[in-house]
Amino acid sequence: MKLAHTMIRVRDLDRSLDFYSSFLGLHEVRRKDLGDAILVFLADADRHHFIELTFNKDGRDYVMGSQFGHLAFFTENLDAVIEQVESVGWDYRGSRPETGSKYI
């Protein structure tokens, strides 16, 4: 089995698309309007992993961080990513040596 996609509910579709495309380099590969919701699928250049942004048109609010567990990305240069993240005011949370993971 391979990861199909990770679904994230969003309040502001345009703002979310801007973040995932300009900051993470993902691009839109498919969009589906279901009437009460819009689904937008994003992928990297190699189309290895997909993120589905779900915008519900009913105006519901979401509590930040309660809709999913985490997203994982590969990078060739973690130091450059950390520098970019810190330049926009986010925190680099450190690493877990026992797993080899690093968290932003």
Tens of pLDDT, residues 16-41: 999 999 988 999 999 999 899 899 99
Pair 49, 79 in one domain: no
Angstrom distance (rounded) from CA 104 to CA 27 = 21
Pair 7, 51 in one domain: yes
State pTM to two decimals. Answer: 0.63
* Confidence at residue 79, expressed as pLDDT on a 0 to 100 scale: 85
In a domain, 100, yes or no: yes
* Confidence at residue 18, expressed as pLDDT on a 0 to 100 scale: 92
Q: Which domain holds residue 43?
A: 1-58
Angstrom distance (rounded) from CA 23 to CA 67 = 21
* Confidence at residue 1, expressed as pLDDT on a 0 to 100 scale: 33
pLDDT in tens, 50-68: 888 888 888 777 766 556 6
Would you call 60 helix, strand, or coil by DSSP? Answer: coil
Angstrom distance (rounded) from CA 10 to CA 61 = 9
In a domain, 20, yes or no: yes
Comparing CA positions, the residue from 4, 71, 74, 73 lying closest to residue 41 is 4
In a domain, 40, yes or no: yes
